[in-house]
């Protein structure tokens, strides 16, 4: 079985922090030429990560969350998301082979062909779907959802949107350690920045913590694509801090690695009208990524993040330093 880098670095975690490999790494890094950027641009392509029916960044979080659910004796995973949720689909597809039922509380957002396709996949996944329409109704319905999916005296194991808990965030601590190994192997220069979409915060927070644990100076630039959660730099730094505290609670002898809000720079200018609302800038970036770099993106997360990267590069924001774009979209 694949041994995670966190276990290799801190062997004491092997017993206290269970891990279930669901994908094959390291995911590839490659230069993105032909886009006319001022500095060197690379992609770390997470789209192929995951051996099941969905890939991308959600799978790395599930590698830590699902074994914890089994350790706790849970029979059902309860989680939430939008009606086209990549996260909910990944949770359903990877949990059910382990004997875990999945229930999803879903809220409305704009519908396009990608969302329609996701809804078809969600309905075929075997998950129990609760269409609750609004965040307010989701909150008010939460006690009923927990009661409805309790088996005997065993409540469901609740996972926040996107799997962005202290535990789920370790998936992107792992990814950052993997990137550091690729830098050490000479596959790419040490980046000045890594750019990623911020939908629930766990990917950006995990990257920031993992980069510090690896000793890299790389900073995270998170492009906020969700207006339903608080996702400022201080909030993401606190999430990274909770993950660091979890590592220590489980026995890792970690020194240093403290983060502050400046370690995660957050940009809001590419959100548009709100979560899952497409933007003209995103549509242009999606087409450029496909035509000039061979990257498949989508309108909700990755196209907005790539649009931000291109515009910030053109404005000289990265000062000529190498930049890595994290492609988190993993269709099958």
Q: Are the beta carbons of 114 and 156 closer than 8 angstroms? A: no
Q: How far is CA 125 from CA 67, 89, 122, 145, 218, in A?
A: 20, 7, 5, 19, 38
Q: Would you state the structure tokens that stand for residue 264, as one six-digit string?
A: 């995660």
- C-alpha 59/C-alpha 82 separation (Å) is 18
Q: How far apart are the first and last CA of the chain?
A: 24
If pLDDT is split at 50, 70 and 90, which confidence band does 8 have? Answer: very high
Q: What percent of the chain has pLDDT over 70?
A: 99
- C-alpha 273/C-alpha 269 separation (Å) is 11
Is the pLDDT reported for residue 259 higher than 90? no
Instruction: Sort strands 41-45 and 29-31 into parallel, antiparallel or unpaired.
Output: antiparallel
Q: What is the pLDDT of residues 9-63, one digit of tens each?
A: 999 999 999 999 999 999 999 999 889 899 899 999 999 999 998 999 999 999 9
- φ, ψ dihedrals at 282, nearest 5°: -65, -40
Cα torsion 274, 112, 312, 169: sign: positive
Q: Are the beta carbons of 325 and 42 closer than 8 angstroms? A: yes
Is the pLDDT reported for residue 260 higher than 80? no
Q: What is the pLDDT of residues 153-179, one digit of tens each?
A: 999 999 999 999 999 999 999 999 999
**Average pLDDT of the chain, as a whole number:** 95
Angle between helices 202-214 and 233-249 (to 10 degrees): 60
Q: What is the pLDDT of residues 51-86, one digit of tens each?
A: 998 999 999 999 999 999 999 999 999 999 999 999
User: What is the CB-side half-sphere exposure of residue 193 using CA atoms within 13 A?
Assistant: 24
DSSP state of 3: P
Residue 326, helix vs strand vs coil: strand
Whole-structure pTM value: 0.96
- φ, ψ dihedrals at 116, nearest 5°: -60, -40
Cβ contacts of 183 within 8 Å, gap of 6 or more:
189, 190, 191, 216
Q: Are the beta carbons of 309 and 195 closer than 8 angstroms? A: yes
Residue 2: its pLDDT value, please? 80
């Amino acid at each position: 079985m694949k041994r995670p880098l966190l276990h290799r670095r801190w062997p004491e975690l092997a017993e206290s922090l269970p891990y279930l490999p669901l994908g094959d790494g390291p995911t590839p890094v490659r230069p993105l030429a032909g886009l006319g950027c001022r500095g060197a641009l690379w992609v770390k392509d997470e789209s192929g990560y995951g051996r099941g029916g969905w890939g991308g960044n959600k799978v790395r979080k599930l590698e830590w969350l699902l074994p914890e659910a089994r350790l706790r004796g849970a029979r059902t995973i309860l989680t939430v998301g939008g009606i086209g949720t990549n996260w909910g689909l990944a949770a359903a597809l990877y949990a059910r082979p382990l004997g875990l039922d999945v229930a999803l509380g879903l809220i409305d957002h704009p519908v396009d062909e990608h969302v329609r396709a996701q809804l078809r996949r969600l309905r075929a996944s075997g998950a129990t779907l609760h269409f609750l329409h609004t965040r307010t109704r989701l909150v008010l319905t939460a006690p009923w959802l927990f009661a409805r999916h309790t088996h005997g005296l065993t409540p469901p194991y609740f996972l926040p949107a996107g799997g962005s808990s202290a535990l789920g965030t370790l998936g992107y601590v792992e990814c950052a350690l993997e990137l550091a190994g690729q830098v050490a192997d000479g596959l790419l220069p040490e980046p000045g920045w890594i750019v990623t979409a911020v939908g629930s915060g766990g990917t950006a927070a995990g990257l920031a913590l993992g980069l510090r644990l690896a000793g890299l100076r790389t900073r995270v630039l998170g492009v906020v694509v969700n207006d339903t959660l608080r996702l400022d730099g201080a909030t993401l730094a606190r999430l990274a801090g909770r993950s660091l505290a979890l590592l220590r609670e489980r026995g890792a002898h970690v020194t240093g690695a403290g983060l502050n809000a400046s370690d995660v720079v957050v940009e809001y200018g590419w959100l548009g009208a709100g979560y899952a609302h497409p933007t003209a800038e995103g549509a242009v970036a999606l087409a450029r990524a496909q035509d000039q770099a061979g990257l498949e993106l989508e309108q909700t997360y990755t196209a907005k993040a790539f649009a931000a990267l291109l515009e910030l590069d053109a404005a000289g924001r990265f000062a000529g330093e190498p930049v890595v774009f994290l492609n988190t979209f993993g269709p099958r």
